[in-house]
Amino acid sequence: MERISCVYDCNNNLIFFYRCVLDDKTNVINLSNEQYAKAVKTISAPAIIIELNNRRTRYYYRAICWDKTLMIGVSFINGIWEVIEYLENPSGAFVLAVLKKNLVEGSAVLHFQTKLEDNALEYPLR
């Protein structure tokens, strides 16, 4: 599988991938092909985007299976958005800590997916 070096998010922002990212324990990892594919899908069609204005960071959150979730952290560095974190099954405590700290300060914005589409029928579900 050939990897692309960038992907557009649902708001048409160009997000760049580099070789290494941080995992949930802040270890530097190289994404496998499967992890990379999940990250691309999460960024291009997230369920929730948590945008931290004071840090110029966004977290893209999505369910990747019935019992698994994925959170991808990107930062605005030197004029471009870069993937910096890959968090499989982030704990509720982690997500709550990110939201609580930044929502209290008024520096976070939440974006939700507002409609679901059934690609087989090509009609939006409501």
* Residue 69 located in a structural domain: yes
Residue 122 domain-assigned?
no
The number of distinct structural domains making up the chain is: 1
Other CB atoms within 10 Å distance of the CB of residue 64? 15
| Percent residues over pLDDT 70 in the chain | 83
User: Is 85 a member of any domain?
Assistant: yes
Mean pLDDT of the chain: 82
Provide mean pLDDT across the span 80-88.
93
Range of the domain at 14: 6-115
Residue 51: the pLDDT is: 87
Q: Is residue 104 part of a domain?
A: yes
Measured at the CA of 93, the angle between CA 98 and CA 34, to 5 degrees, comes to 85
* Neighbouring C-alpha atoms within 13 Å toward the C-beta of 101: 11
Tell me which residue of 68, 71, 69, 93 sits closest to 22, measured CA to CA.
Answer: 71
Enter the pTM of the model. 0.80
Residues 9-34: b if buried by 16+ CB within 10 A, e if exposed = beeeeebebeeebeeeeeeeeebeee
Q: Which of 26, 22, 24, 23 is nearest to 93 (CA)?
A: 24
